[in-house]
Amino acid sequence: MPVTSVEKDLDQLTITIIADFAAPLRRLWDAYTDPRQIERFWGPPTYPARFLRHDALAGGRSLYSMTGPEGDVHFGCWDWTSAEAPHTFEVLDRFSDAAGRPIPDLPTTRVEFAFEETRDGSRLRTTSYFESLEQMQQLIEMGMLEGTREAMSQIDQVLADLASFATERATEAQILSDTQVRVARVIRGTAPQVWRAHTDAALMKRWLLGPDGWSMPVCEIATAVGDSYRYEWQRDGGEERFGFTGELLESQEPSRAVTTEAMIGMDFPATLNELTLTEVEGGTLLCLVVTYANAEQRDAVLATGMTDGMETSYARLESLLQPTLA
């Protein structure tokens, strides 16, 4: 078990948990900032977590669910107040509803995560700051310490599982809920490079093509929040054509963009697409969380081979970035 000490300071109203790992510092940092990894250990075994949003940067937000053995679902959110990779980040940890709205009757905890190299690997010092002794006692009685120990006991297995998160892995789609899917892939390139690839029309036309044999004659970028975009593809040598349009709802270069997306000429409900770029060892983790109107729409889209088409496009993007990185 990686937890080596737990210290309660009643005068300073803090609980500090120290854990040591036989893994490099950067590997441990990535485990906390990659939603695919942190959700494998954030909840104790009886309450596994799902991260529906995870912005590993100052000003970002995280939203996660924890599902109990009886099917009961509980939500929590983080507001990121600071982040200095790969050494420290600080969040306000709150209980919330499914939309990420904090529950006012339950306590808010300020938590600082400090990462450091050690002779044998790396160490994580997690310090929780409470507003009152009553708040500290309330969370302890709710099982905070036992849950943390159980959750952290799972980290070693995640840290050892390099293959599941390697840059060589293809694009993967993971169902998060009845209406949400997360598509993830590590792109060999920096976050600014991958961001530019999504905001430069000339560059997008070179890689966002799906299978070979298609071109992108229309690529109208939304450059500011509130702007609309329009993308259209056409099969080479034929008249077959399709496209999407939508609105840019949020934009935080080079980390996060949120858009709506509707298929042109079809009466399908628009989706909500949340793109997050996180720099990890080996490149940039691209996560796209898509929210559908219902499970039927979600399953119908997945059945089209969407993930395979995205992998072809992302592989093409990497081939364009590699000369720049050389």
CA dihedral 116, 49, 140, 23 (to 10 degrees): -20
φ/ψ (deg, to 5) at 246: 180, -170
- Say if residues 54 and 77 touch (Cβ distance below 8 Å): no
Domain ranges of the chain: 3-165, 172-325
CATH topology of domain 3-165: Alpha-D-Glucose-1,6-Bisphosphate; Chain A, domain 4 (3.30.530)
Task: State the pTM of this model.
Answer: 0.92
Res 326: pLDDT:
44
10-44: per-residue pLDDT in tens?
999 999 999 999 999 999 999 999 999 999 999 88
Nearest-Å Rg of the Cα atoms of the chain is: 21
Res 183: pLDDT:
97
Residues of the chain with pLDDT under 50: 1, 325-326
SS3 content of the chain, % helix, strand, coil (to 5): 25, 40, 35
Which of 18, 28, 6, 21 lies closest to 119, judged by CA?
A: 21
Res 28: pLDDT:
95
Maximum Cα–Cα distance across the chain: 75
Residue 230, beta-bridge partner list: 220, 245
Res 324: pLDDT:
61
Pairing between β-strand 61-67 and β-strand 3-9 as defined by DSSP bridges: unpaired
Res 117: pLDDT:
97
* Sign of the dihedral defined by the CA atoms of residues 181, 289, 178, 33, in that order: positive
Name the CATH architecture for the domain at 172-325.
Answer: 2-Layer Sandwich (3.30)
